[in-house]
Chains A and B, each alone.
Chain A
Amino acid sequence: MSEKKKVVEQVDVVVIGAGHAGCEAALACARLGLRTVIFTMSVDAIALMPCNPSVGGSSKGHLVRELDALGGEMGRVIDRTFIQSRMLNVSKGPAVHSLRAQADKAAYSREMRRVLEETPNLYIRQSEIMEILTEEDRISGVVIRSGMVYECRACILCTGTYLRAKCIYGDVETYTGPNGLEAANHLTESLKAHGIRMMRFKTGTPARADGRTIDYSKMTEQKGDERVVPFSFETDPESVQKEQASCWLTYTNEETHRIIRENLDRSPLYSGVIEGTGPRYCPSIEDKVVRFADKDRHQVFIEPEGLSTNEMYIGGMSSSLPDDVQRAMYRTVPGLENMEIVKNAYAIEYDCIDPSQLKATLEFKNIAGLFGGGQINGSSGYEEAAAQGLLAGINAAMYCLGKEPLVIDRSEAYLGVLVDDLVTKENTEPYRMMTSRAEYRLLLRQDNADLRLTEKGYRAGLISEERWQKLCRKKEMIEAETERVNRAMVGATKEVQLFMDEHETPRLKSGCSVAELIRRPELDYEALSPIDPDRPSLPADVCEQVNINIKYEGYIERQRRQVEQFKKLEKRQIPGDIDYSAIAGLRIEARQKLDKFRPASVGQASRISGVSPADISVLLVWLQANAGKKEDINDREL
């Protein structure tokens, strides 16, 4: 024990880490009036994108929009720093349309740092955190590298991939974080000492090439959309129409695969050097070649890292093979024959927590005031990190302010699905958001993220009155117009029948409502404007909502009913001190699982693997019997 008098600083909130989760967490707390300090290993690495140079994509784009509706920053920053943007899946249903933007990495990082620096109550400090301090199962402060103590009321862990990080390629192992940055080697021990269970995960990144050594003429150019849609509901759509950079598509071939196969014995993945669990959804190229041996080629996307650099990201070919093998394999790809590597591909291993220790608020169950956000919770991806960081930040602030925490459930947002999956399921690999994970995805569209979540952001205090009022007006317009098209009739006039012929849809037998016509596969809201004379002039986003609501009404209604059922079990709370071993009729496996996850509601309990519907019945019976003993028999609806 050091006898030196410790220098003590007092703040409300400490955020450990300034990646995508940390930045959102710190901004939320500071904006809600709390004195907040954000720690980073290097101020030059704030909001760093150490892997792919893009934001959004399938389901991740949804997260960014949701975060924006809740008052997060990522959407606004990418709108100012993107260099190409595309809406993916436009030929499919509206629920899976997904926005993705290529970022100018340096600009993104700089812009986010500027936002942090300009935010009142927010202070940036460069230091490793050595320990967390607690008093009576409550967070009380952190100790930084120098020994100085920052006392705090809440602390948010956003350590990303830095905890005991190790980068590996071939037989080279360096004890560094991403991009050669210093690793944080001390905090893990302190977390363990506080009873937190840790896991070790792995991920990887491909090489960066010198753009001057790439022959783009052998690749397919991929341009951005002609009309760009911004991420943020606050961004003026006109402000994002600009000249865009291109990405390029090429393919691996048999020769690439041969080189990889012949050198597999030199891969640390197969030799056993790597112990962490890697994600199945972004396999290294050697993984792809081994696991999908029947595929004779894999796509390779060449993406610019920014406008101020000629570094190019070689998407689809992450690897931990030795440097010389990497060089040889990349050079088999058409257009990369003379490629010079700027940064080689590598795998990275890091410590993260077992997220079953978290509540749906992202607060630790056993340490009040301590929260986790981002990759430390076992997730993967900038967007997943940012969204969790925001939620953890809001809840840390609510905790400090003594207000109700914000819980977002699976029926409200992808963010709700993400958090629920993390805290309720056994995660054995870094968790990536996927559209197939959202069972109510028809309701959770990127186009209605503002309608779903702005109110929550407003109540939390992160959405301005003006933005809130604007949203309320939008809602009213949608409702009024939906009602109008349901009532407005179209007669079977000659002009109308001609219109039907033109659109190759059957003629009308008699008059029908505009809504009925919107539902026809050949027609939509916009197309019907010539035969809908009473139509008011409305903003495009309002028309879009009316169209979707009516066109897919049957399916949407079905999911709404499912959500009602879902909500009933979600509302049914389980007391925190429940003793599962005392409940007769629960199977042993169910007892163990329930005790491990300690779900907050019957709904959450029902999603734990190993808990059967019969166990849930038994649990409900027990809860009913015990509710009878208490005063608050709130809601007996099941």
Chain B
Amino acid sequence: MVQDTIAAISTAVSEAGIGIVRVSGPDAVCAADGIFRTPKGRRILQSVPSHTIHYGYIFDGDETVDEVLVSVMRAPRSFTAEDTVEINCHGGILATRRVLETVLAAGVRPAEPGEFTKRAFLNGRIDLSQAEAVGLLISAKNEYALKNSVSQLKGSVLEAVRGLRGQILLEIARIEAALDDPEHYSLDGVPEALKEKIGVWEGQLKKLIDSAHDGRMITEGIRTVIVGRPNAGKSSLMNYLAGADCSIVTEVAGTTRDVLTQTVNLRGITLLLTDTAGIRDTEDRVEKIGVERARENARNADLLLYVVDSSAPLDENDKEIMELLRESGTPALVLLNKTDLEAATTGEMLKAALYENGLAGQEVLPVSLTTGNGLSQAEEMITQIVYGGRLQVSEGLTITSVRQKNLLVSARESLLKTSKSIELNMPEDFLTIDMMDACEALGDITGEHAGEDLVNEIFSKFCMGK
């Protein structure tokens, strides 16, 4: 059985605080061995017996990525019947992602949706009578992934990647048209001009890749930021959401005491929940830094939960928060808290204020974090916002999944190879080989597939004679 080696995060990261990166295929053990060290710094995985678990660290070069438990299962006694390594990560969602990225950097391919099950089936681990179920599962997982990746990519990222792909395709067509019709098109000066363009594209890709390292949404969680002036009840909301009905996965401390992020699972949705220091005017220097960061967090959020204290009148801080809501255009849920106390700010007053600040139609939900009134409705509304498709990637160019990042990295590498070939004076027909790889990688992100695209591009942009 000759196959390549694949990897993916195989558990919903939100559960139980542990993410598992599963690696399957002939190079699984070797790839894991390259990045795993015991506490004593030894490489051991290649020599350990099958079905054993080992404690240690995943390294990316000299840098420790996470503290892990690694289990090694050799073929055929594994789920896929291939050599399989499972890396149990403890550092939470971001660490799990980084472990996966490190595995991929070792030459492993990201798994397609349903691919582990497909392999298990094809390798005889699943009863033949289950073929139909397996087929449906693969199909459903792909539909789901496709839908999510499209929704994840809505907006600027999709445009940026499409734009890049289009430009690369045009340059490929320019060269190919000349190869097919050398008497009509000359390639004089084309490689030099191409080298410059590649410099620009490569830079754009690098930016996209950098923006991907804090990628989020759906697969990794929705960045949800709680805002409100001090004592409005933000911490109580945080505790509630992270409480009985939810499971705390991890605590990724912000760099200061003022921002705290928790990953919580709310009715099947993973939220990256951030409590901000109260937004208010402050002269205190230390606190000021915290407030700035809170603002920034709110601007970068996918979803805002704005807590208003109904027992006090609205003030300048609320006005500022509303401005922030309006500016960012981020979907938000406004919770009018402390309804158990005497109202200084009623629902009507709040709605009027929202209206005045350009937030007409913004939903307001009266709740009491003390009595628990309205809280299950709040949960319901959060799920509605998420599933209702109102969420957009908020921060310009953010690539969300490891797979997409991986594709961006490989597109960039292909472009750098092209650049190198130009320096080496390679003939033009070699340049398009690497450019085509770049084009295909970007097409995998946007769901566009080359095939006839190139031929169409040649015909539409270049006058082919006879």
Contacts and interface: CB of A to CB of B under 8 A. Distances in A.
Interface of A: 52, 58-59, 88-89, 91-93, 95-96, 280-283, 288, 291-292, 295, 298-299, 301, 315-316, 318, 425, 434-437, 441-442, 521, 552, 555, 558, 568, 583-587, 607, 609, 612-615, 617-618, 620-622, 624-625, 628, 636-638
Contacts of B2: 568, 637
B193 interface: no
B425 interface: yes
A617 B114 contact: yes
Given A436-B454, A612-B142, A638-B3, A93 B427 contact: yes
**Interface of B (DSSP majority class):** helix
B179 A96 contact: yes
Contacts of A88: 182-183
Contacts of A95: 429
B451 A609 contact: yes
Contacts of B258: none
A333 to B, nearest CB: 14
A607 B459 CA distance: 21
B131 A58 contact: no
Interface stretch (B70-78, B132-140, B198-206, B321-329): B132-140
B452 A316 contact: no
A624 B121 contact: yes
Contact of B425 (A295, A434, A521, A586): A521
Given A89-B179, A92-B429, A436-B458, A621 B112 contact: no
A624 B1 contact: no
A607 B460 CA distance: 23
Given A88-B182, A620-B122, A628-B128, 16 more contacts: A58-B179, A280-B464, A283-B463, A288-B465, A298-B465, A301-B183, A315-B466, A442-B433, A568-B2, A585-B138, A609-B452, A613-B112, A613-B142, A614-B113, A621-B121, A636-B1
Nearest to B2: A637
B464 A316 contact: no
A315 B115 CA distance: 54
B182 A89 contact: yes
A318 B138 contact: no
Nearest to A519: B424
Most interface-central of B2, B3, B134, B428 (chain A CB within 10 A): B134
B60 interface: no
B48 interface: no
Nearest to A625: B131
B122 A316 contact: no
A280 B2 CA distance: 42
Contacts of A636: 1, 122
B122 A618 contact: no
Contact of B463 (A292, A585, A587): A292
Interface in B375-426: 424-426
A281 B466 contact: yes
B122 A437 contact: no
Contact of B131 (A292, A586, A621): A621
Interface in B46-69: none
A280 B456 CA distance: 9
Contact of A584 (B1, B135, B187): B135
Interface in B1-16: 1-3
Contact of B132 (A280, A584, A609): A584
B118 A621 contact: yes
Contacts, number: 142
B180 A435 contact: yes
B340 interface: no
Nearest to A429: B459
Please name the 10 residue pairs, one residue from A and one from B, whose CB atoms are nearest each other, closest first. Answer: A585-B135, A625-B131, A282-B466, A93-B427, A614-B142, A585-B139, A280-B459, A436-B176, A281-B464, A93-B429
Interface residues of B, number: 50
B355 interface: no
Of A88, A92, A282, A637, the most chain B CB neighbours within 10 A belong to A92
16 contacts: A58-B182, A89-B182, A95-B429, A281-B459, A299-B184, A315-B466, A318-B466, A436-B455, A442-B433, A521-B426, A552-B430, A613-B112, A614-B112, A624-B131, A625-B131, A638-B122
B287 interface: no
A308 B4 CA distance: 62
A627 to B, nearest CB: 9
A606 B249 CA distance: 41
B181 interface: yes
B427 to A, nearest CB: 3
Contacts of A425: 452
Contacts of A552: 430
B466 A618 contact: no
B416 to A, nearest CB: 15
B463 A298 contact: yes
A471 to B, nearest CB: 26
Nearest to A564: B2
A191 to B, nearest CB: 28
B139 A555 contact: no
Contacts of B128: 624-625, 628
Contacts of B139: 585-587, 614-615, 618
A614 B129 CA distance: 20
A583 B182 CA distance: 48
Given A280-B459, A638-B3, A92 B465 contact: no
A435 B187 CA distance: 16
A613 B452 CA distance: 17
Nearest to A380: B466
A103 to B, nearest CB: 15
A455 to B, nearest CB: 25
A175 B339 CA distance: 89
Contacts of B427: 91-93, 96
A120 B155 CA distance: 69
Given A585-B138, A628-B128, A637-B1, A435 B428 contact: no
Interface in B117-152: 118, 121-122, 128-129, 131-132, 134-139, 142-143
Contacts of B135: 583-586, 618, 621-622
A625 B176 CA distance: 43
Contacts of A586: 135, 139
A420 to B, nearest CB: 12
A35 B1 CA distance: 47
Contacts of B179: 58, 89, 92, 96, 435-436
Contacts of A621: 118, 121-122, 131, 134-135, 138
